[in-house]
Amino acid sequence: MIFFTRRERFSAAHRMFRQDWTDEKNSEVFGKCSNPNWHGHNYVLWVTVKGEISENHGFVMNISILKKIIQERIIEKIDHRNINIDVAFMKGKIATTENLTIAIWNELKPEIEKAGASLHCIKIEETENNFIEYYG
């Protein structure tokens, strides 16, 4: 069993808030992250897949296939977008990095399995000081 990780990046706007809370309550819980006019980040995404090395080509999974899956399923849908408004797989969820990490796991898992590997970990860095990891 060997682990292969691909790093990708996307830039997006978001805001943390709950519609069923008052502005005061949102501000108390989420602080400056609930600014009504949005803020944004350069997110860094690491996708780790695992599997046996193929004797055929010496890879766990061909990198061009993994890049294509991440590009089509995630980057094209979230890069230079608003996470709260524009991204279908985040609809109805609080736009925390925790929820985003799990949503991306759910988007990628079936595609990676169709390609013959297993998804091991999704890691998202929101700033250089904070990141989230999810292993399913």
Which residues contribute to the site for a copy of itself (CB under 8 A)?
A: 1-9, 11-14, 16, 18, 29-33, 35, 37-42, 48, 53, 57-60, 62-64, 79-82, 85-86, 93-96, 98-99, 101-102, 127-135
Say whether 33 is catalytic: yes
- The two beta strands, 118-127 and 81-82, are unpaired
Q: How far apart are CA 132 and CA 45, in angstroms?
A: 10
84 CA to centre of own chain: 14
Q: Which is nearer to a copy of itself, 114 or 127 (CB)?
A: 127
- Work out how close the CB of 58 gets to a copy of itself at its nearest, in angstroms, rounded to a whole number: 3
Q: Which is nearer to a copy of itself, 48 or 111 (CB)?
A: 48
Q: How many CB atoms lie within 10 A of CB 121?
A: 17
98 residue type, one letter: E
Q: How far apart are CA 132 and CA 120, in angstroms?
A: 14
- Work out how close the CB of 13 gets to a copy of itself at its nearest, in angstroms, rounded to a whole number: 4
- Work out how close the CB of 106 gets to a copy of itself at its nearest, in angstroms, rounded to a whole number: 13
* Catalytic residue, candidates 8, 33, 41, 111: 33
Six-digit token pair at 28?
Answer: 């108390």
Q: Which is nearer to a copy of itself, 110 or 136 (CB)?
A: 136
Is residue 82 within 8 Å of residue 10, measured between CB atoms?
no
